[in-house]
Amino acid sequence: MLKLRHGGYQLQVNNEEEPRNKKYDAFVVYNEHDGEWVMQQLVPNLENTDQQNFKLCIHERDFMPGDDIFENILNSIENSNKTLLILSPHFAQSEWCYFEMRMAQTQLFEEKKDVILMVMLQEIPDDMMPRVLRKILMTKSILNGLRMTWGGGCFGRQLRMALKSESRVNRIAQE
């Protein structure tokens, strides 16, 4: 449906030297209850540092006013190299976070890019964990934001490396 909405399927060229010329380094998906951490910790430590500055897409700040929310989400994902999920019990219960996560997953199939990065901000109890999120958690590495340290700390260094890393995955299906 998304491909038809945007003009049909187009063959993606597998270019090893793919330029990273998207508007944002990462679209940040989080529940509003975790917004304080995003705005006071994540944004300042990734966007305004002495090290490499990253450009994050934050819905509160970067969505186009007056545009449809679905269009804003799709544009943000398409214009970002990665999608950064900030996981918490609030995230697990949010239909919007679930929708944004599923839209980011479509890039795996459409662009052959695994763009999802995850930060565990708070543990999610098993009884609150959606099945799809549980499956993603079993197949991907997660950055532990529970005991994070920025600057010279391991968390900040790992997150910066993950944001800079290549997203292309091995060929999913024969063309």
Q: What is the pLDDT of residues 126-138, one digit of tens each?
A: 899 888 888 888 8
**pTM across the whole model:** 0.79
4 within domain boundaries? no
CB 169 within 8 A of CB 111: no
Strands (DSSP E) found in the chain = 24-29, 56-57, 80-87, 116-120, 143-144
28 within domain boundaries? yes
Parent domain of 33: 22-164
Q: What is the pLDDT of residues 28-68, one digit of tens each?
A: 999 999 999 999 989 998 897 766 789 999 998 999 888 89
HSE value, Cβ hemisphere, 13 Å, CA-based, for 49: 18
Helix, strand or coil, per DSSP, at residue 129 = coil
The number of domains in the chain is: 1
- CATH code for the domain of 105: 3.40.50.10140
